[in-house]
Structure 1
């Protein structure tokens, strides 16, 4: 068997088999998640319709990678459900619950978790129930045996359980991240999930293009460059993708590559100073023409000041007059009708692949890249204090 154009025996010997399989399996996983939500749509609709009769606020939460899902989803969810929606990590909720929970405001807490067993995830749902008179819970998780999946809320709750293959075995979250992200985006149109079949087919196609031999070769070549800094930029929902890419490359290289993320407009306000001749600069381009104007302006502005080692962009539309070293265009340059937030699901494959290949280039084992044990699959050593 081969995964990502590498033999299984080679990947196993390099400590990369699980990560490679989980990255490669995502387009198939996305199809499975879509079909599962279509089957469960009536039950899900009943729950969300009931909650929306009373909820005045939606909080999207998770820790680390799971928290970044909310940053990609909050805009679409607020726009489509008509309820104020904010993304707040569990790591904020646990230390400062009084700043986010309002007792008199009925709230839907949407929790994202691969294992559902991290201390902050479990503490957050308990704190929500103690600080809010009426708190509903929607849990999107990959582990039916996890604490979140089994949590007994005081109000109505619903668990969206992803297929077993979403429960990554490697340290880095890959399929679990994109799978939970897709589920959340689809639930923004919960009354008619099946209507999104064409969009899901399109992002599956984009994902397969990123996993194709030619693009894999390009990404592997980038990973072999001599950079020790990387910056990822994204606008709107793709800002969440930039955040997750930052974490993915940094954790898979055990911190040997120090990463940063920002929005295109935000990058001008000081953070641009991080760029030097050993920096890889990655642009996630929007397919929204109005947004793209701001993104192109930033790229043009990179001609002033220190130049990065390499600039690479990912887009689903051709972009005229763009000064980047490498532009990966998915969809064969056709007119793109995919809603912007769905691009987050497939674009993250670039960040995952870059992290995997850079990890291998540095002689690390991507399945467990932390040589000191400083990071682990489920966070360790967190003490929850009772208030």
Structure 2
């Protein structure tokens, strides 16, 4: 009989430890991404037909929205979407739109609201769509979701003309509390939609990201286990540009999976110098999510060199570094591809936070599929009351 293994656990052991779904969903991401890429490739003419008339208006804006991890998709993708479409693009969480719609929606400006949602049932996600309809006279909805049965998917089915939904493969709809494959597959989707006119040319860069992810899963898991055994209290994730949104997602993932026992922070490399660096001490690990842009990497390396010289012996982890000499590094993750092929590096970079969270969760005696001992956090947010405005 063939024994199935997810990450470093066989299926039976993973079930016993309350880790089965999380382990399966983290390890299944490269295959999931390939399926998503194929799906968007097959849908490209439909997507173009929906977006092109909007883009031809010339003065449209794009809002990328979601709650929690789904909001961080927008933060990571914002710059790329704006660059590829030529339209003003903002990442605004549904949790902000619901409380202050009048500050963010502009009535007479054509607006594309891109909603990211794993379940599509979060109260804020549904309300943000309703508020957009109310506050914008020319509104279009692009809904990217992992759940065909969710309220957002149903909304897209019922609305007329101004809605387009992309329901991702069933495997993207994580069973575990923490968003893993759902996050990366929705992020991949919006990057592909933004580059829909050049999707074939993106294949090489995409393949490199899959190769990087598979290399992590094949060759780096024992290193993640070793890091998890270390006695650290804080982890700081740093990134620039699109990687800043990923640093925030990694921050949440590790903190969430350890039920808050490891306190995390995120920042940009340059921003970290302006006060936030005070949080880094000998009980910390600093995780660098490096850019492959040579210009950006100069700024990032300067900070890594500075932290490496800190007398408090602050340990670091590097993703996509050209070299780590002098960084006081305990793990170095290389990436496939070369210059100009890094648009999808955000996908395997997200796995750094996922895997640190998964193995530290096990080390603390928690259950990755449901790490919240108190029940304070849940798969779909509970207790949110929507008030009419």
Structure 1 position 264 matched with structure 2 position 266: no
- CA gap of 1:351–1:165, structure 2 versus 1, over 3 A, is same
How far apart, in 2, do the equivalents of 1:4 and 1:80 lie?
Answer: 35
Structure 1 position 106 matched with structure 2 position 85: no
Q: Deviations over 1:172-224 (max 9, x none)?
A: 00000000000111111112323322222111100001111x31111111111
Could you tell me which residue of structure 2 aligns to residue 349 of structure 1? 351
Does the Cα contact within 8 Å between 1:275 and 1:308 map onto a contact in 2?
A: no
Structure 1 position 175 matched with structure 2 position 181: yes
- CA gap of 1:206–1:304, structure 2 versus 1, over 3 A, is closer
Q: Deviations over 1:210-239 (max 9, x none)?
A: 111x31111111111101111100000000
Instruction: Please report how far the alpha carbon of residue 155 of structure 1 lies from its aligned counterpart in structure 2 after TM superposition.
Output: 5.4
Does the Cα contact within 8 Å between 2:308 and 2:314 map onto a contact in 1?
A: no
How far apart, in 2, do the equivalents of 1:149 and 1:196 lie?
Answer: 28
Q: TM-score, normalised by structure 2?
A: 0.95
SS at match of 1:149: helix
How far apart, in 2, do the equivalents of 1:37 and 1:244 lie?
Answer: 24
Q: TM-score, normalised by structure 1?
A: 0.96
- CA gap of 1:273–1:301, structure 2 versus 1, over 3 A, is same
How far apart, in 2, do the equivalents of 1:206 and 1:77 lie?
Answer: 23
Instruction: Please report how far the alpha carbon of residue 53 of structure 1 lies from its aligned counterpart in structure 2 after TM superposition.
Output: 2.1
How far apart, in 1, do the equivalents of 2:39 and 2:140 lie?
Answer: 22
Instruction: Please report how far the alpha carbon of residue 303 of structure 1 lies from its aligned counterpart in structure 2 after TM superposition.
Output: 4.5
User: Of 3, 15, 19, which residue of structure 1 is paired with 2:22?
Assistant: 19
How far apart, in 2, do the equivalents of 1:345 and 1:287 lie?
Answer: 14
Instruction: Please report how far the alpha carbon of residue 335 of structure 1 lies from its aligned counterpart in structure 2 after TM superposition.
Output: 3.4
Could you tell me which residue of structure 1 aligns to residue 381 of structure 2? 379
- Give 5+ residue unaligned stretches, structure 2: none
- CA gap of 1:95–1:308, structure 2 versus 1, over 3 A, is farther
Could you tell me which residue of structure 2 aligns to residue 238 of structure 1? 243
How far apart, in 2, do the equivalents of 1:71 and 1:43 lie?
Answer: 26
Aligned pair count reads 383
Does the Cα contact within 8 Å between 2:216 and 2:333 map onto a contact in 1?
A: no
- CA gap of 1:18–1:134, structure 2 versus 1, over 3 A, is same
Does the Cα contact within 8 Å between 1:275 and 1:306 map onto a contact in 2?
A: no
User: Of 191, 194, 204, which residue of structure 2 is paired with 1:188?
Assistant: 194
